[in-house]
Amino acid sequence: MPFARDNASRDNLIRYYFNQLYTAKDVKDILSNIHHIQLSEKHLKRIKKRLNLQRTAFGIAINGAIDGFSRKVLWLKAGNTNYNPRYIAGLYLDFIKRYHRLPRVIRADGGSENVTTKLLQMAFRYNHNDRQSGTNSFITGRSTSNQELNVYGVALALGAFNFGGICSDTCEIMEFCEKQTQFILKA
């Protein structure tokens, strides 16, 4: 990470101060007063978006999948990003490797974080001989249905669920439904 004495680039300085939990206004003032870099708040916002420096509630991003038929939680992970397509695809691949199962259909919102998962799902289901193979194996919908997973995440954060004793301080919540036909990817 750069420091004020380093000759760091503007992007690295923004990344550094944002990761130190300064507000956008504070970062703009620090860049102006210490580093003599003038930015408008709108321009700083665009740079933060390009650098994927979006903050989440409590600094925790919840990623998960729910079986669309049984409504069971397939995975629920807390991380630092919802915007990295490689991270989301990694969770999907971990699920496939762990349970040796491939979902017939994935339903997700149209965000850029789901593009890699979409391509993987369509490639894995390309040679299957059913109505939901290939390009039909991924459905894009509105992100309003992500609220269901957000309720799980908030309830977990508040300690409302026990999940029958399978949770510990470092638990990984994962259940699998044998008759899975579809699951919903929510980020």
Note down the domain range covering 26: 10-55
- Phi then psi for residue 40, to 5 deg, are -85, 165
pLDDT of residue 123: 94
Same domain for 143 and 63?
yes
- What was the pLDDT predicted at 150? 59
Do 63 and 37 lie in a common domain? no
Ranges of residues in the chain whose predicted pLDDT is under 50? 1-2, 161-183, 187
User: Whole-prediction pTM value?
Assistant: 0.57
Q: Is 5 inside any structural domain?
A: no
Q: What is the DSSP letter of 51?
A: T
Q: Are residues 116 and 148 in the same domain?
A: yes
Same domain, 78 and 49: no
Distances in Å between the Cα of 149 and the Cα atoms of 74, 143, 163, 173, 186 are 11, 11, 15, 13, 7
Same domain assignment for residues 44 and 22: yes
Beta pairing class for 61-67 and 73-79: antiparallel
Assess whether 22 and 114 both reside in one domain: no
DSSP 178: T
Residues with Cβ < 8 Å from 80, sequence gap 6 or more?
A: 56, 59, 60, 61
Which stretches does DSSP call E strand in 16-56? none
Q: What is the pLDDT of residue 136?
A: 92
Q: How many domains does the chain have?
A: 2
User: How many of the other CB atoms lie within 10 Å of CB of 51?
Assistant: 13
Question: 79 and 35, same structural domain?
Answer: no
Q: How far apart are CA 8 and CA 4, in angstroms?
A: 8
Q: What is the pLDDT of residue 108?
A: 86
How confident is the model at residue 149, as a pLDDT?
Answer: 61
